[in-house]
Amino acid sequence: MHSEKTKRVSLSLSLTVFYSVITFAIVFSSIFLIKSLVVRYSLINYSNTISKEFSHIFENPMSMNGRNGKRSRVLSEYTIISGDKIISDPYNIKDYIKMPDKFPEIESIEGDPYVFVNFKNVDGSSFVLIAPAYQLKVLENTLNFFTLLLSFASAFVVVVVGLFFSNKVLSPLKKISTQLEKVKISKLDAKIPDQRYREYQQLADTINSMLLRLKDGFERQEQFVSDASHELRTPLSSIFANLEMLSRWGKDDPKVLDDSLEDMKMSVKRLSSMVEALLRLSKGNLEVNFEKVDLREIAEEIKTESETLYPDFDFEVKGNGKAKTDANGLKEILRIFISNAVRYSSSMKKVIIWVEKDRISVEDFGIGMNEEELEHIFDRFYRVDNSRTQEGFGIGLSIAKKIADAIGARIEVESEDGKGSKFSVEFS
């Protein structure tokens, strides 16, 4: 069954459309509002002119002729309505008049625009004045044309500006994507450079952190393969040599057969232990559970366990103390210290576990180490020259160091060549 390829939308296009729609809506609303205000202002100004002119016929005239002249002109220019009575109708529109809900207002009568003005005299009388509004209609039509023209122009400008800003905003993201395409397994030390914007810097930091983890994982994998191939070669060669010998003539000799089988058994056991240790060392982040623990109780538990495993040794616990750490991780570290203490002991088969506040140590009286050897004890598969005949793979202290880092502890080593060593775990 073939999965359909998901169609993906361009983020740049989406941002441009979103920005353009929002900006155009704001610009168009602003233009429309300005146009409406201009039309309304012109309407109010025109209605005020009509009202002022109409009010002159109620003033005390300097001469009756003057008053009659003004009255005649007003009656010939405006349709005047008082209540239900039509005082004048020079445009013959009385049969088509429909009063608006508010004043002043422009209404269309028989296809022609007329302005309706409500005039209230000082004596309380009220009149509706109706006059042609061709100039206002022309003004409104002109403004409508320019509104449409400006809308198209602003739409074009908004889209262009939107494309510019969306590309500007997404430019760092595109650069990051281009840089990530250059990242290869063989070149995981690549780093996304610092970004100008905080959000992109957070993204760059996250990616750089991920690349470091990937690099660490691949290096750990390569180290594991290298270490395994190096250390597994000896026991595998031993098994192969014994099988070759048995296949040719050794199987007919009971003693040789028994010796070969025992040797292969030890080699397989060594292989099993080595693989288990390598797997533990190659693991990523260890699970830890921090809690306040009694270091004396842990030391006593390790002492009891060690007396069973190494009955020829004398184990002693001294001191008291507590620390906040992971109990299981600490026990693993102490087991490694004890194992090394037993493995590299001399004639004095004694091990002391010292307990203090935020510190626990394992002291032996074995072969010890010099300063040069101390510099390499945490390197994988490193063993001091005078211990090559001892059992072990040289990775125990590497495991201990890794566990200590995971539980937030520090390992300190004191040693004197020929007199013994003291390995300490100190908690912060």
- The 3-class SS string of 229-271 reads HHHHHHHHHHHHHHHHHHHHCHHHCHHHHHHHHHHHHHHHHHH
Cβ neighbours for 403, distance < 8 A, ≥ 6 positions apart: 286, 329, 332, 333
Cβ neighbours for 112, distance < 8 A, ≥ 6 positions apart: 132, 134
User: Per residue in 383-408, pLDDT tens?
Assistant: 554 443 445 556 778 888 888 888 88
What pairs with residue 116 in β-bridges? Answer: 105, 130
Question: What span, in angstroms and rounded, lies between the C-alpha atoms of 218 and 191?
Answer: 16
Cβ neighbours for 343, distance < 8 A, ≥ 6 positions apart: 387, 390, 391, 392
Candidates 280, 273, 275; CA nearest to 329 is 280
CB-CB contact of 200 with 176 (8 Å): yes
pLDDT at 156 (0 to 100): 85
218-229 mean pLDDT: 69
In this predicted structure, the answer to whether residue 163 has a pLDDT above a threshold of 50 is yes
pLDDT at 386 (0 to 100): 46
Question: What span, in angstroms and rounded, lies between the C-alpha atoms of 15 and 28?
Answer: 19
Q: How do 322-325 and 126-132 pair as beta strands? A: unpaired
* Domains of the chain, start order: 11-157 (3.30.450), 198-282 (1.10.287.130), 291-427 (3.30.565.10)
In this predicted structure, the answer to whether residue 125 has a pLDDT above a threshold of 70 is yes
% of the chain beyond a pLDDT of 70: 82
20-39 mean pLDDT: 86
Which of 66-75, 273-282, 303-312 has the highest average model confidence (pLDDT)?
303-312
Candidates 405, 299, 403; CA nearest to 352 is 299
